[in-house]
Amino acid sequence: MPDEKTNNKEPAKPAKSRDNLTWALMAAAATAAAVGFAGLFSLWLRGGPPNDLETIQVAAREYVAGRTVLAGELAKTVEFPSSENAPPADAEPSSDASQAAEEEIADLRKLRDFFVGAGLVARAQQTDEPRKRRELLFEAVPLLEKASKSGFPVGREVEGSRFLGESLFELGRFDEAAIHLEQVVLRAPTLRRALVPLLATAYLKTTEPSAAKALAIMNRYLADESLREEPRRIGERIRIDALTRLGQYDEAENAVAEALEQLPPAESPNPTKHADAREQFLLARAIVAVEKAIGRHGKAPIDELEDRSAVIAELTQTLSDLNDLQRETSPRTSARARIWAARALACQGMPDRALAQLTMVRQQRPFAAEAIVGSLEEVELLAKQGRGTEMLQTTRFMMRELGDKGGFDPALVSFEAFQRRFIVALEKLRDHEAYASAIDITRNMTPVFSPSEALMQEGITYREWAASTIRDGTNVGGDVLRTASEIARSRFRAAGDAFSRAAEIDFDTDRYLSTQWAAIDAYQQGRHFERSIRLLRPYLRYEERRRQPRGLVAFGRALLADNKPNEAIDSLETCIAEFPRDPLRYDARLLLAMAHSEIGDLEKSRSYLMDNLQDGELTPQSPAWRDSLFTLAEMLYRKGYENHLAAQRVGAEERIEKLKENQPILEDAIRRLDEAAERYWPLPRAESATYLAARSHLLAAEWPRLESQSEDVLDAARRTLRTKVDNELQAALDGFSRLKESLLVCEDEERLSDDSRSMLRNCFMSEADTLKELGRLDDASVAYRAVSLRYMNEPTALEAILGQACCVRELGRDREAALLVRQADVVLQRIPPKFDDDFQKTTRYDREGWQQLLAWMNAGIQDPGGIPGQT
C-alpha cells in the first residue's frame, strides 16, 4: 500500500514562507524558459528560423539540463508531414538519400514523442490538483506508448519505460504498468529500491492479481538491511497485503504484530512522527481479521435466516478497532476504516448497518478513491437487495461527483474493474426485475460510461423486461395474453431503439455489427419489421460472410411480414444457394414455403416444406422440423378450405366435380394435422391442429354427401358414400369433443387465452352442429342447450337457441320450437351493448339483423333471405 504515505500532509508552512517559495519557483521557471528560448533566438539570428532538427536538439539540451517541461514545450512546436502524404506502397524504391531522410524524420518523430510525453509527465508531477494531474497523464501516455512501440530514443529506454510505467500505474492500468516497471527494474538495478514497492503493488492490482510474485519480490526487498525506516514500513504493509491475499492470515497477523512492536511507544518524544505508521498497521490488522472471517464464512449470508453468531463474535473486537480508527485518524484512513467496517458488517449479516457506513464514505469530500469504492460497494449491496430507487439515487450522486473519466481516482479500484463491477450490479438489479429503475440508471451512466455502453445497457434492460413480460403473461397452456403481448412488443421496440442508437455511435468500431444485430433482433421480436429492414440493408453490406445467413433469413422474414413476398423469396433463395450447408437453411426453406404460399404457388411451398421434413439431418424434436410439419398441415387445410368455398359458388354438377378434386387435398391435410397434433400435444399449435383436423373431416363429408344424392349412383355405391359421410362426421365429432374436454380442463386450472376461448366456443357449437348432421337430434338439442346456458346473454346463445329449435321442430315438437324462438328474442334484449362487435364475429347477423330475423320467425315467416346485416 505505498500510496498511503501521502495520507497525512505535513504541517502547513507559514503563509509568508509559502509565498516566498512560490515566487522562487516561478522565477526559476521563467529563467529556464528564457534560457531555452534564448537558444532558439540565437539560432534564428545566425541563420533564420531553426529547423526541426535544431529545435529537437535544443529540446534535448533542455531535457539533459533537467528542464523537462520546457523540453516538452519545445518539442511540441516540431511538426512532421502527415502519413497521408507518404509515398504509395507500389511506388518505385527510393534513393539512398531519400531513404536516409525518411529514417531521420522517423528518429526525430521518436524524439519529439518522447520529449512531449516526458514534459507532460513532469507537468503532472508538479501539480497538486488530482484531476489536472490525471488529464496530463491521459495526454502523455499515448505519446509514450507510441515511442515505446517504435523504440525509445537511444539512451532513454530506461527513463521512457519508467515514465510510462509510473503513468500507467497512476491511471489504474496496472497490468500494463507491471510490464514496463518490470523492464525498468531488470535494466536499471539502481532504480530497484525506488520501484520495487510500486511493482509489487501493481502485481496485487492486476486483473488477475499475482500475490505470490508480489510477496516474493517484497521478501527480497525487505532483506536489504540498508533500507531506511519509511521505505521499510511501506514494504511491510505491501507484504502484509500480499500475505492476506494469499490466505496466509497467521503469517500476516504475525507480520503486523512485529511491525507494531518495532514502532516507538506512543508516549515517546515526537509521537506524531510515527502516528501515521501506527494507524496504517492497525488498519492492516483489522483488514487481516475481516479477510480471514470472509474467507471462512463468506462475504454475506446466503440465506437471511442463516446463523451468523460465530462471525459476529469473531469480528466484535475488530469492529471496535475500526470504529476507533474512524474517530482518531486522518480523513483518508478513517474512510478506509469505514469501508472495512462495512465489509465486516455485511459478513455478519447486517446489510443495513453496512450501507450506513458506505453512505458516509460516499459523502466524503473530496470525492477520491475511498468515496468511489464506498459508492460502488453501496451500489452492489443495494442491487443485491433489489432496491432500485436507492441505487438510482446513489448512481446519480456518484456520476455527478466524478463528472468524467478524469475525475476517477484508481488508487483502490481500476477504472475497468469499476465499470465491470457496476455492470454486474446492474445485472443483479435486473434479476430482481427492477427494470424501471435499471433503465433510469442506464440513462445516468454517462459521461463515466461511454454513450454507446449506456445505450447498450438500456437496450439489454428493455429486452429482458419484454421477455419477463411474456413469461408473466403466459398461461399454463402456453398462450400469451394479448395485453402482455402488446406491452412486450413495445418494450422490444424500445430495446431496438436503444441498440440502434448505440450502433450509430459505434459505427467505426468492432462493436458496430454485433450492436446492429441486437437492434435488428429486438425489432423483429417486437414485430417492427419496417425498422429491421432499414437496419438489415447496411448490416448485410458490412457483415462477414460466415454470419450472412442469419441476416438473409432475418431480411426474408421481415420482408414477408411487410407483405413483400417476392423480395423475401430473393433473399431466402440467396441464403440457400450460397450457404447450402448452413443450419439456417432450414429456417430459410420454411420462410420460402410461406412466401410462395402468399403468392399462391402451393407446389413450390410444399416442396420446400417436404425438403425439411425429409432431410436426414433434422429430427422431429427440432423446431424447424416441427414448424415445417405444422405449416404444411395448416397450408393444406387452408387450400382445401379455399377450394371448398370456391365450389359453393358454382352450379350443382360442377360443384360435385370441384369437391371431388378437393378431396385428396383434404385427406392429406387431415393426415398431416393428425400427425402434428399427436406428436406435439399439448402445444397451442397442436390444439389448433386438432380443431382444423375436425373441420377438415366436416369438409371431407360434403362431397360423398352430394354424390350419394345423385340419381345416377348405384345403391351399393350410395351406401358406401353414406357410410363415408357418417365416418367423416363421426371423426369430426370425436375431434371436437376431445378438444372441448381438454380446453375445459385447462380452463379449470387457469384463464384461457382469447384464441383458446374462441376455439372452445367453436368446439361447443361444432359438436352440436355435427350431432345434428348425424341425425342424432336429441343429442344435438341437448348440446345446443348446453351452449346457450354457457354463453347466456352473449351473441353465441342466439345461434345455439335457434339450433335447438330446429332440432325439436324436426322431432315434431313445434310448440317447444316456437317457445325457443321467443326465448331467443328475450335473450337478444338482454345482451349488453358491449357485445355489439361480437355479433358479426361469432354469429350470422349483427344486432339489427337478429331483431328482424326473430321478428319474422315469431310472425311465422320462414324465409329470412331479405334480412340486412348478414355476415
DSSP 153-164: PTT-HHHHHHHH
Average pLDDT over residues 618-623: 91
Q: Tell me: the pLDDT tens digits for 319-337?
A: 999 999 999 888 999 999 9
How many Å is the Cα radius of gyration of the chain?
Answer: 42
Q: Quick one: which H or E segment has residue 543?
A: none
Q: According to the model, what pLDDT value does residue 34 have?
A: 47
C-alpha cell of 417?
474493474
Q: Tell me: the pLDDT tens digits for 424-475?
A: 999 999 999 999 999 999 999 988 899 999 999 999 999 999 999 999 988 7
* Chain centre distance of CA 549: 23
Q: According to the model, what pLDDT value does residue 666 have?
A: 95
Asked whether the predicted pLDDT for residue 375 surpasses 60, the reply is yes
Is 753 domain-assigned? Answer: no
Helix (H, G, I), strand (E, B) or coil at 39: helix
Helix (H, G, I), strand (E, B) or coil at 277: helix
Is 725 domain-assigned? Answer: no
pLDDT tier at 867 (50, 70, 90 boundaries)? low
Please answer whether residues 517 and 502 qualify as being in contact, where contact means their C-beta atoms are separated by less than 8 angstroms. Answer: no
pLDDT winner (highest mean) among 69-73, 93-97, 222-226, 427-431: 427-431
Give yes or no for a cis peptide into 410 (omega within 30° of 0).
no
Q: According to the model, what pLDDT value does residue 44 have?
A: 43
Report the distance separating Cα 552 and Cα 400, nearest Å.
Answer: 44
> With b meaning 16 or more CB within 10 Å and e meaning fewer, what string describes 624-639?
bbbbbbbbbbbbbbeb
DSSP string, 101-127: HHHHHHHHHHHHHHHHHHHHHHHHHH-
Q: Using alpha carbons only, give the angle 31, 164, 2 rounded to the nearest 5 degrees.
A: 95
Is 432 domain-assigned? Answer: no
Asked whether the predicted pLDDT for residue 132 surpasses 70, the reply is yes
Q: According to the model, what pLDDT value does residue 862 have?
A: 54
Place of cell 532538427: 53
Collect all residues with Cβ–Cβ distance below 8 Å to 121 and sequence separation of at least 6. Answer: 68, 136, 137, 140, 144, 163, 166, 167
Q: Tell me: the pLDDT tens digits for 220-232?
A: 999 998 899 899 9
Q: 824: closest CA among 860, 845, 798, 861?
A: 798
Average pLDDT over residues 24-53: 50
Q: According to the model, what pLDDT value does residue 2 have?
A: 41
Average pLDDT over residues 176-184: 94
Q: Tell me: the pLDDT tens digits for 500-551?
A: 999 999 999 999 999 999 999 999 999 999 999 999 999 999 999 999 999 9
pLDDT tier at 374 (50, 70, 90 boundaries)? very high
DSSP state of 646: H
Is 805 domain-assigned? Answer: yes
Q: Give the end of a domain, one of 171, 193, 215.
A: 171
Is 853 domain-assigned? Answer: yes
Q: According to the model, what pLDDT value does residue 13 have?
A: 40
Collect all residues with Cβ–Cβ distance below 8 Å to 770 and sequence separation of at least 6. Answer: 698, 729, 732, 733, 736
Average pLDDT over residues 270-286: 85
Report the distance separating Cα 606 and Cα 584, nearest Å.
Answer: 19
The more confidently predicted of residues 625 and 104 is 625
Asked whether the predicted pLDDT for residue 404 surpasses 90, the reply is no
Q: How many domains does the chain have?
A: 2
Q: 138: closest CA among 403, 407, 362, 348?
A: 407
Report the distance separating Cα 380 and Cα 384, nearest Å.
Answer: 6
Average pLDDT over residues 848-866: 76
Q: According to the model, what pLDDT value does residue 870 have?
A: 55
Q: According to the model, what pLDDT value does residue 715 have?
A: 85
- Bridge partners of residue 845, in order along the sequence: 870
Is 829 domain-assigned? Answer: yes
Report the distance separating Cα 306 and Cα 830, nearest Å.
Answer: 61
Asked whether the predicted pLDDT for residue 584 surpasses 70, the reply is yes
Please answer whether residues 295 and 247 qualify as being in contact, where contact means their C-beta atoms are separated by less than 8 angstroms. Answer: yes
pLDDT tier at 476 (50, 70, 90 boundaries)? low
Q: Give the end of a domain, one of 113, 147, 171.
A: 171
Asked whether the predicted pLDDT for residue 625 surpasses 60, the reply is yes
Q: According to the model, what pLDDT value does residue 665 have?
A: 95
Please answer whether residues 415 and 408 qualify as being in contact, where contact means their C-beta atoms are separated by less than 8 angstroms. Answer: yes
Asked whether the predicted pLDDT for residue 86 surpasses 60, the reply is no
Average pLDDT over residues 379-395: 96
Sign of the C-alpha dihedral, residues 412, 416, 421, 423?
positive
The more confidently predicted of residues 110 and 197 is 197
Is 781 domain-assigned? Answer: yes
Q: 364: closest CA among 407, 331, 404?
A: 331
Q: Quick one: which H or E segment has residue 846?
A: none
Q: According to the model, what pLDDT value does residue 27 have?
A: 45
Q: According to the model, what pLDDT value does residue 91 have?
A: 47
Asked whether the predicted pLDDT for residue 57 surpasses 90, the reply is no
Q: Tell me: the pLDDT tens digits for 301-311?
A: 988 888 899 99
Domain interval for residue 826: 775-871
Q: According to the model, what pLDDT value does residue 17 have?
A: 40
- How distant, in Å, are the alpha carbons of 39, 136, 243 from that of 69? 16, 12, 41
Average pLDDT over residues 346-360: 95
- Percent of the chain at pLDDT > 70 equals 89
pLDDT tier at 18 (50, 70, 90 boundaries)? very low
Asked whether the predicted pLDDT for residue 688 surpasses 90, the reply is yes
pLDDT tier at 684 (50, 70, 90 boundaries)? confident
Q: Angle 715-749/684-700 helices, nearest 10 degrees? A: 160
Is 329 domain-assigned? Answer: no
pLDDT tier at 23 (50, 70, 90 boundaries)? very low
Q: Give the end of a domain, one of 111, 146, 171.
A: 171
Please answer whether residues 116 and 72 qualify as being in contact, where contact means their C-beta atoms are separated by less than 8 angstroms. Answer: yes
Q: According to the model, what pLDDT value does residue 864 have?
A: 52
Q: According to the model, what pLDDT value does residue 756 have?
A: 86
Q: 730: closest CA among 674, 776, 676?
A: 776
